[in-house]
């Protein structure tokens, strides 16, 4: 059995690299340590903690959490608190609607989603399946895509599933647990702020990404998307459970802490790569992505050291003296050194005092199929993956 | 009543510019002169004439007619001759499937449509409407999009409607008679050679074009598309009837003629703008379009004169000494001076001996909504439209 309690089990290869669990032959094995359920509803007061946690899990991407938090609070005020349900609380044939914003984070700052996109997507899904969705799921717990589903669920009057498809943020449509679990990527429904609805029946996840990205760019580099509409039965073993509760716990860890950075590092089980200041930034928004590099020069105990972050919406690789300190799919997040608040890629500013943290990804991303999907080579880096805890 | 017998009547404005008919208040008025029905089936022998006629009506665009002709002959051999039906032969609630290839003609030379695209589109349409389509219609009679529907209809075992949505070729998705007739552009179904199917529910025709073009470029700048799936009842007054028969008649006009150019000019009622040779070409394939200019220097009686053609997939404006000789939506076609065979934009070659013909478009394009949709300003030319026969 693997040591990561939240990992719910995938038939995705013969081994978990960097893990005691060498062979997974069951479609799903019960978590050894079940993460405690935080609450049965997401309240107004939970939104701030959820947003802070999602920002940390966003590894610089997934979109700014603030617009999602504003939308979530407004939707809770208008439509009431959002029930947070686990998979086993849903009937087997209940339709789960995994929603996410797609596009360049830099654009989503200025072009806010409307309120009707989830409604139009749910209508299209009901038209296709002959029944309405029963729950909303975040496709991506990291960044704004982890927070905004609270608003979308409230708007639809549906519960939110305590799960997501990444356990972090990733920039491309096919980089989801369902793809790694081998479920065919046969349906994507998109809605944009102008009112257009696009349904894609792709031949595979890579075409799904290619076409959805083109539609997104045509819509102004921002759209709402349902990817892999699934029954609850299909979700079992194909989504990462407990991640909404996890994000709230990460967000709560720094609340009232004397040393927020130490509290966050402990909660995440993270390695502190460097504490310093932002010395150089090279960012551009191209093809629907925010790409670039950020250079952090060490201060205090880390004076004289330099860390370079490679960015493609998310922080993908951390390099020091040409040597990799951490790499995707492990999580690399830049936080404010004083407050331990995560700094999104597009909020990086010259001179900022920051600390770079890195910690292990969900074990599913360390399987051969997981690494093929979202390992360093999937992003064009000619690197053999090494787990961050082994490098450290 | 208007003098164009084939015009079946649109409520698209208060006048037909360049036409005796000043007011159209009926949704549909019967044609004064009904074009004689050429035949009830499209046979192997008809394909060559149809292809020649479609090339002429393509005004340089609509894609090469040769791949469509090959596909049509092959499909007729495999599946039998294709019934050619008029609108009044279809039940009111019969679904008409308007099909066309979308993309850069230069790409469609090298990337041939597969055989399954129409099947996947028909399946998706049946999934959406709960019943299968009853007939195929060419969205665009000009160019390859006028010929290939024979193959698509044969492959689907459906009749071909003797009508289209342009009466010529146009480069953009919203430039169709249904749009001019005010029918909401609320459904586009696309299929590509890779097997992807995309359904677009656009808020209007312009968004339809924008998103469909993006999907097309993502698919390699070539895809098959059903735009405006309509019942036969909705087609009445919203499609241009008789254009398949018309294309075959245009193609037959030059068969065995002693002077093919004179025969074609007479059949079209065209103005001969210039006879000469191709002196200069500037073409590029960008954003899914073939754009550029072609310069024809006069020879023989036209020596010393120069005609410049502005191209955006189709020949849009013909200029002589800075003065417009003909402009979109009127039809401008370059033909081989000896054989009167139309020369597509992408087949233009330096030194070719050609004649440029221009003739009036269907009256619907001369209405205010028609000109707004596909007049010179719709293509970025700051020109007030003047009918070609008035300029001449």
| The pLDDT value given to residue B31 | 36
Find the CATH number of the domain harbouring B293. 2.40.390.10
A218 with B219: Cβ contact below 8 A: no
Q: Are A359 and A269 in contact (CB under 8 A)?
A: yes
Digit-coded pLDDT (tens) for A141-179: 999 999 999 999 999 999 999 999 999 999 877 799 999
Digit-coded pLDDT (tens) for B12-50: 333 333 333 333 333 333 333 344 444 589 999 999 999
Helices (H), chain B: 46-57, 65-79, 105-108, 117-129, 144-156, 177-180, 205-218, 232-235, 243-253, 260-268, 368-374, 388-391
| The pLDDT value given to residue A109 | 56
Report the residue of chain A nearest B206, measured CA to CA.
A196
| The pLDDT value given to residue B17 | 36
Query: Which of A248, A264, A279 is at the close of a domain?
Result: A248
Specify the number of domains making up chain B: 2
Average confidence (pLDDT) over A51-64: 93
Residue A319, in any domain of the structure: yes
Torsion, CA B57, CA B60, CA B63, CA B65, rounded to 10: 60
Q: How many CB atoms lie within 10 A of CB A277?
A: 15
Domain hosting B281: range is 256-359
Residues B217 and B261 in one domain: no
Max alpha carbon distance in chain A (Å)?
A: 62
Residue A346, in any domain of the structure: yes
Q: Are A259 and A283 in contact (CB under 8 A)?
A: no
Q: Which of B39, B1, B7 lies closest to B21, judged by CA?
A: B1
Q: Is the pLDDT confidence value at B102 over 90?
A: no
DSSP per-residue codes, A317-329: EEEETTEEEEETT
Which of A5-14, A127-136, A326-335, B282-291 bottoms out in mean pLDDT, i.e. has the lowest? A5-14
| The pLDDT value given to residue A27 | 32
Chain B residues whose beta carbon lies within 8 Å of the beta carbon of residue A207: 194, 196
Classify strands B163-164 and B240-241 as parallel, antiparallel or unpaired. Answer: antiparallel
Residue B197, in any domain of the structure: yes
* Cα(B129)–Cα(B143) distance, integer angstroms: 30
Which of A77-81, B111-115, B138-142, B199-203 bottoms out in mean pLDDT, i.e. has the lowest? B111-115
Q: Which of B39, B58, B11 lies closest to B344, judged by CA?
A: B58
From the CA of B215, how many Å to the nearest CA of chain A?
Answer: 6
| The pLDDT value given to residue B49 | 97
Alpha-carbon distances of B123 from B80, B174, B189, rounded to whole Å:
21, 24, 10
Give the model's confidence band at B109: pLDDT under 50 very low, under 70 low, under 90 confident, else very high. low
Q: Is the pLDDT confidence value at B362 over 70?
A: yes
Average confidence (pLDDT) over B127-149: 95
Residue A193, in any domain of the structure: yes
* Cα(A43)–Cα(A41) distance, integer angstroms: 6
In sequence order, the β-bridge partners of residue B354 are B276, B336
Chain B residues whose beta carbon lies within 8 Å of the beta carbon of residue A215: 198, 211, 214-215
Which of B194, B203, B213 is nearest residue A196 as measured by Cβ atoms? B203
A195 with B214: Cβ contact below 8 A: no
Chain A residues whose beta carbon lies within 8 Å of the beta carbon of residue B210: 218
**DSSP run (H or E) holding B280:** strand B271-286
Question: What residue has token string 């005092």?
Answer: A353
Measured CB to CB, residues of chain A less than 8 Å from chain B are 124, 127-128, 194-203, 207, 210-211, 213-215, 217-219
Which of A128, A195, A200 is nearest residue B198 as measured by Cβ atoms? A200
From the CA of A83, how many Å to the nearest CA of chain B?
Answer: 31
Which of B124, B201, B213 is nearest residue A197 as measured by Cβ atoms? B201
Average confidence (pLDDT) over A52-73: 92
Chain B residues whose beta carbon lies within 8 Å of the beta carbon of residue A200: 196-199
* Cα(A143)–Cα(A58) distance, integer angstroms: 4
Residues A191 and A336 in one domain: no
Which of A195, A201, A218 is nearest residue B196 as measured by Cβ atoms? A201
B214 with A215: Cβ contact below 8 A: yes
Classify strands A95-103 and A230-231 as parallel, antiparallel or unpaired. Answer: antiparallel
In sequence order, the β-bridge partners of residue A363 are none
DSSP per-residue codes, B316-373: EEEEETTEEEEETTSEEEEEETTT--B--GGG--TT-EEEEEEEPPPGGGGSHHHHHH
Question: Counting one residue from A and one from B, how many pairs have CB atoms under 8 Å apart?
Answer: 60
Digit-coded pLDDT (tens) for B151-210: 999 999 999 999 999 999 998 777 999 999 999 888 999 999 899 999 999 998 889 889
* Cα(A18)–Cα(A390) distance, integer angstroms: 8
Which of B195, B196, B214 is nearest residue A218 as measured by Cβ atoms? B214
Q: How many CB atoms lie within 10 A of CB A14?
A: 11
Residues A233 and A325 in one domain: no
**DSSP run (H or E) holding B190:** strand B188-191
**DSSP run (H or E) holding B198:** strand B197-201
SS3 annotation, A77-120: HHHCCEEEECHHHCCCCCEEEEEEEEECHHHHCCCCCCCCHHHH
Query: Taking the mean position of all CA atoms in its chain, how far away is CA B160?
Result: 15
Q: Is the pLDDT confidence value at B385 over 50?
A: yes
Residue A367, in any domain of the structure: no
Query: Taking the mean position of all CA atoms in its chain, how far away is CA A384?
Result: 23
| The pLDDT value given to residue A329 | 97
Q: Is the pLDDT confidence value at A208 over 80?
A: yes
Helices (H), A194-297: 205-218, 232-235, 243-253, 260-268
Q: Which of B240, B33, B208 lies closest to B141, judged by CA?
A: B240
Residue A237, in any domain of the structure: yes
Digit-coded pLDDT (tens) for B8-17: 333 333 333 3
Q: Is the pLDDT confidence value at A13 over 80?
A: no
Q: Are B170 and B195 in contact (CB under 8 A)?
A: no
Chain A residues whose beta carbon lies within 8 Å of the beta carbon of residue B200: 196-199
B211 with A198: Cβ contact below 8 A: yes
Radius of gyration of chain A (CA): 19
Residue B35, in any domain of the structure: no
Q: Is the pLDDT confidence value at B371 over 60?
A: yes
Digit-coded pLDDT (tens) for B291-319: 899 999 999 999 999 999 999 889 999 99
A207 with B196: Cβ contact below 8 A: yes
Give the model's confidence band at B114: pLDDT under 50 very low, under 70 low, under 90 confident, else very high. low
**Most confident of the following: A249-258, B98-107, B211-220:** A249-258
Query: Taking the mean position of all CA atoms in its chain, how far away is CA A232?
Result: 20
Report the residue of chain A nearest B201, measured CA to CA.
A197
Digit-coded pLDDT (tens) for A279-330: 999 988 776 667 899 999 999 999 999 999 999 889 999 999 999 999 999 9
B214 with A210: Cβ contact below 8 A: no
| The pLDDT value given to residue B103 | 74
Which residue would you say has higher pLDDT here, A114 or B205? B205
Query: Which of A196, A229, A248 is at the close of a domain?
Result: A248
Alpha-carbon distances of A285 from A47, A109, A311, A313, rounded to whole Å:
29, 13, 11, 9
Give the model's confidence band at B97: pLDDT under 50 very low, under 70 low, under 90 confident, else very high. very high
Residues A237 and A314 in one domain: no
| The pLDDT value given to residue A283 | 82
| The pLDDT value given to residue A114 | 64
3-state SS, residue A286: strand
Which of A195, A201, A211 is nearest residue B215 as measured by Cβ atoms? A211
Q: Which of A256, A248, A285 lies closest to A51, judged by CA?
A: A248
Give the mean pLDDT of chain B. 87
Chain A residues whose beta carbon lies within 8 Å of the beta carbon of residue B217: 214
Complex ipTM > 0.90: no
Give the mean pLDDT of chain A. 87
From the CA of B197, how many Å to the nearest CA of chain A?
Answer: 5
Residues A297 and A159 in one domain: no
Q: How many CB atoms lie within 10 A of CB A324?
A: 18
Residues A181 and A262 in one domain: no
Q: What percent of chain A has a predicted confidence (pLDDT) above 90?
A: 72
Which of B124, B198, B203 is nearest residue A194 as measured by Cβ atoms? B203
Average confidence (pLDDT) over A266-274: 97
A207 with B217: Cβ contact below 8 A: no
Give the model's confidence band at B104: pLDDT under 50 very low, under 70 low, under 90 confident, else very high. low
Chain A residues whose beta carbon lies within 8 Å of the beta carbon of residue B211: 196, 198, 215, 218-219
Q: Are B251 and B171 in contact (CB under 8 A)?
A: no
| The pLDDT value given to residue B113 | 64
A211 with B200: Cβ contact below 8 A: no
Pick among A194, A220, A221, A225 to test the B interface (most B CBs inside 10 A): A194
Residues B86 and B215 in one domain: yes
Backbone φ and ψ of A149, nearest 5°: -55, -25
Alpha-carbon distances of A21 from A5, A6, A35, A340, rounded to whole Å:
12, 14, 19, 33
Digit-coded pLDDT (tens) for A125-140: 999 999 999 999 999 9
Chain B residues whose beta carbon lies within 8 Å of the beta carbon of residue A198: 198-201, 211, 215
B196 with A214: Cβ contact below 8 A: no
Exposure string for B105-118, b = 16+ CB within 10 A, e = fewer? bbbbbebebeeebb
Q: Are A361 and A57 in contact (CB under 8 A)?
A: no
B197 with A197: Cβ contact below 8 A: no
Q: E strands of chain A, at which residues?
A: 41-42, 82-85, 95-103, 135-138, 160-161, 163-164, 188-191, 197-201, 222-227, 230-231, 240-241, 271-286, 289-298, 306-312, 314-320, 323-327, 331-336, 353-359
* Cα(B180)–Cα(B176) distance, integer angstroms: 7
Residues A46 and A151 in one domain: yes
From the CA of A208, how many Å to the nearest CA of chain B?
Answer: 9
Chain B residues whose beta carbon lies within 8 Å of the beta carbon of residue A197: 200-201
* Cα(A257)–Cα(A339) distance, integer angstroms: 10
Q: How many CB atoms lie within 10 A of CB A37?
A: 12
Q: Are A43 and A81 in contact (CB under 8 A)?
A: yes
Residues A96 and A221 in one domain: yes
Alpha-carbon distances of B175 from A301, B18, B294, B330, rounded to whole Å:
67, 20, 24, 14
From the CA of B355, how many Å to the nearest CA of chain A?
Answer: 39
From the CA of A157, how many Å to the nearest CA of chain B?
Answer: 24
Find the CATH number of the domain harbouring A205. 3.40.1610.10
Q: How many CB atoms lie within 10 A of CB A351?
A: 8
Q: How many CB atoms lie within 10 A of CB B92?
A: 10
From the CA of A114, how many Å to the nearest CA of chain B?
Answer: 15
Query: Which of A227, A248, A269 is at the close of a domain?
Result: A248
Alpha-carbon distances of A240 from A162, A166, A169, rounded to whole Å:
9, 7, 13
Residues A264 and A241 in one domain: no
Residues A46 and A64 in one domain: yes
Report whether the peptide linkage leading into residue A329 is cis, meaning its omega lies within 30 degrees of zero.
yes
Question: Measured in Å, how far apart are chain A's first and last C-alpha atoms?
Answer: 24
Question: What residue has token string 């299968």?
Answer: B132
Backbone φ and ψ of B124, nearest 5°: -65, -40
- List, in order, residues 6 or more apart from A21 with CB less than 8 Å away: A1, A2, A3, A15, A363
* Cα(A121)–Cα(A110) distance, integer angstroms: 22
Alpha-carbon distances of B89 from A99, B92, B155, B161, B335, rounded to whole Å:
46, 9, 21, 9, 36
Residue B193, in any domain of the structure: yes
3-state helix, strand, coil in chain A (%, to 5): 30, 25, 40
Average confidence (pLDDT) over A330-355: 95
Residues B318 and B225 in one domain: no
Query: Taking the mean position of all CA atoms in its chain, how far away is CA A175?
Result: 10
């Amino acid at each position: 059995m693997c040591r990561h309690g939240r990992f719910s089990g995938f038939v995705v290869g013969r081994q978990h690299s960097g893990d005691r669990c060498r062979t997974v032959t069951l479609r799903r094995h019960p978590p050894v340590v079940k993460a405690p359920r935080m609450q049965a509803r997401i309240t107004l007061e939970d939104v701030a903690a959820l947003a802070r946690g999602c920002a940390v899990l966003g590894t610089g991407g997934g979109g700014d959490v603030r617009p999602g938090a504003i939308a979530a609070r407004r939707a809770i005020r208008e439509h009431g608190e959002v029930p947070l349900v686990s998979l086993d609380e849903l009937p087997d044939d209940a339709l789960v609607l995994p929603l996410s914003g797609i596009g360049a984070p830099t654009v989503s700052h200025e072009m806010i989603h409307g309120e009707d996109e989830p409604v139009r997507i749910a209508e299209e899904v009901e038209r296709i399946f002959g029944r309405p969705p029963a729950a909303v799921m975040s496709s991506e717990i990291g960044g704004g895509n982890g927070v905004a589903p609270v608003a979308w669920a409230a708007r639809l009057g549906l519960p939110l599933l305590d799960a997501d498809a990444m356990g972090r943020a990733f920039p491309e449509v096919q980089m989801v647990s369902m793809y790694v679990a081998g479920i065919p990527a046969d349906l994507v429904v998109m809605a944009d702020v102008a009112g257009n609805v696009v349904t894609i029946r792709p031949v595979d996840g890579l075409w799904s990404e290619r076409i959805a990205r083109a539609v997104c760019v045509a819509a102004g580099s921002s759209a709402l998307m349902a990817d892999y509409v699934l029954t609850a039965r299909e979700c079992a073993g194909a989504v990462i459970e407990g991640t909404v509760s996890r994000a709230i716990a990460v967000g709560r860890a720094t609340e009232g802490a004397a040393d927020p950075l130490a509290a966050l590092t402990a909660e995440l089980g993270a390695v502190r790569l460097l504490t310093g200041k932002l010395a150089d930034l090279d960012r551009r928004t191209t093809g629907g992505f925010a790409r670039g590099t950020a250079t952090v020069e060490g201060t205090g105990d880390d004076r004289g050291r330099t860390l370079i972050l490679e960015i493609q919406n998310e922080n993908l690789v951390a390099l020091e003296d040409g040597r990799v300190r951490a790499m995707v799919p492990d999580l690399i997040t830049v936080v404010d050194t004083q407050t331990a608040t995560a700094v999104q890629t597009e909020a990086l500013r010259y001179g900022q005092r920051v600390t770079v943290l890195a910690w292990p990804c969900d074990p599913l991303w360390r399987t051969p199929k997981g690494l093929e999907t979202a390992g360093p080579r999937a992003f064009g880096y000619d690197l053999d993956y090494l787990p961050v805890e082994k490098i450290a």
